[in-house]
Amino acid sequence: MLQVQNLVAGYGKVRVLHGLNLTVERGQLVTLIGSNGAGKTTTLRALSGMIAPESGRITLGGQEIAGLPAHAITRRGLAHSPEGRRVFGTLSVNDNMLMGAFPRLTGSRPKGDVSADIDRMYAIFPRLAERRLQLAGTLSGGEQQMLAMARALMLNPDVLLLDEPSMGLAPRLVADVFATIARLKEAKTTMLLVEQFAAAALDVADYGYVMENGRLSAEGPARKLKTDPAVRAAYLGAAH
């Protein structure tokens, strides 16, 4: 569904990604793990057009999308729930959801039944249903994360990019987030998940990539990576 070849990207003259290759198959949950500063978030930003890649190919369902602006990529079916949630604070929860469906409501993607989809989201995230008319800026961190995910899903995306959905959440909420991701996977949502909680991410994922310094250092089926001592070392350090 999503294929990346030799992706090179960065900020200004500073290059962060040095030739990245990865693939996400339809219906698959792929996770990208690695330490801070490895380039995970930059990868997602390059995929969704938030930054323009220097070179390399990115195809979404066979269509080349590298170099397109973010809104054009979204309209082609790639949703990105960005790092730090980035909900629209002065819009209500309901309006945030509508924004997620913007391409559907304005005719650049098949419309379907938007209000039914909103109801479906409220079923998945009952906390949001209670607060549908509240301004998103007044939600707690965990609720905002739910909203960011729901908003991205409102696109009915072909591929969903999730950037650190667990960031800054209390442990109980982290478990909730992962439970939700597992449910989305069951519903055959194609996802690329960036996570700092490597073990938890590998638990739910089908396939994993490990990143170090802008390059992939390991990849394989999630189950295998999880028992790989190299992955564990990258996080907690080898015992001295």
Partner 1 sequence: MPSILKYGLFVAALLATPFFITNAYYLHLVVVILIYSILLLGLDIVFGYTGEVSLGHAALLGIGAYTAAILGWKLGLGVIPAIPIAIVVTAGFGLLLALPALQVTGPYLAMVTLAFGTIVYTLINEMDFLTNGPMGITLQKPLWWDLREYADQLPFFDMSTAKLKEFEFYFLVAFCLVVSLVAINRLIASRYGRAFEALRDAPIASDCMGVSVYKHKVIAFAFSAGMAGLAGALFAYSEQYVAPNNFGIELAIQFLLAVTLGGRKSRVGPMLGAIIIVVLPNLLADIALFRIIAGIVAAVAVVAAVTGWRRAEDKTRLMIPVVLCVFFFAFSLALEKITDFRLSIFGAMILFVVYYLPDGIWGFVRGAIARLRPGMMQAHAMIEAQGDDAHAWSANEPVVDSGKPLLEARAVLMQFGGLKALNEVNLAIMPRTIHGLIGPNGSGKSTMMNVLTGIYVPTAGDILLEGRSIVGKKSPEIAAAGIARTFQNVQLFGELTLIENVMVGLHHTYQGSLAEVALATPRARREEADAQVRAASILRLVGLDHLANEEARNLPYGKQRLLEIGRALALDPKLLLLDEPAAGLTAPDIKELIEIIRKIRDHGVTLILIEHHMDVVMSLCDTVTVLDFGQKIAEGAPAQVQADERVIAAYLGGAVQEAA
Partner 2 sequence: MQILLQLIVSGIAVGMIYGVIAFGYQLTFATSKTLNFGQGEALMLGSLVGLTVTYFIGYWAMLPVVLAFGLMQGAVVERLGVRQAIKTKSEAGWIMATIALGIIFKNLAENIWGRDDLKFPSPLPEQALDVGGVRIQPMEIAIVVGALALMLAVELFNRRSIFGKAVVATANDRDAAGLMGIDTGKVITFSYALSSMTAAFAGVLIAPITLTGPRLGAVLGLKAFAVAIIGGLNSGLGVIVGGLILGVTETLTGFYLSTGYKDVPGLILLLLVLSFKPSGLFGKKTIKKV
Residue 79 is classified by DSSP as E
**Integer Cα distance of 181 and 204 in angstroms:** 8
Amino acid at 213: N
- Determine whether 129 is exposed, middle or buried from the number of CB atoms within 10 Å of its CB (0-12, 13-18, 19+): middle
- Is residue 79 within the footprint of partner 2 (CB under 8 A)? yes
Residue 26 tokens read as 């339809």
Contacting residue, 22, 42, 56, 80, with partner 2 by CB under 8 A:
80
Number of residues that bind partner 1 (CB under 8 A): 42
Contacting residue, 6, 55, 63, 106, with partner 2 by CB under 8 A:
106
- Is residue 229 within the footprint of partner 1 (CB under 8 A)? no
State which residue, 156 or 207, has the beta carbon closest to partner 2: 156
Contacting residue, 151, 173, 189, 216, with partner 2 by CB under 8 A:
151
**Integer Cα distance of 86 and 145 in angstroms:** 9
Contacting residue, 116, 126, 133, 238, with partner 1 by CB under 8 A:
238
Residue 84 CB, nearest approach to partner 1 (Å):
9
Interacting span for partner 2 (CB under 8 A) from 34-42, 58-66, 104-112, 185-193:
104-112
Secondary structure of 2-36 in HEC code, one letter for each residue: EEEEEEEEEECCEEEEEEEEEEECCCCEEEEEECC
Residue 83 tokens read as 């790092």
- Is residue 95 within the footprint of partner 2 (CB under 8 A)? yes
- Is residue 230 within the footprint of partner 1 (CB under 8 A)? no
Amino acid at 131: R
In this structure, are strands 191-195 and 159-163 parallel, antiparallel, or unpaired?
Answer: parallel
By the criterion CB under 8 A, which residues form the site for partner 1? 12-16, 35-39, 140-141, 164, 166-171, 174-175, 178, 196-203, 213-214, 226-227, 232-233, 235-240
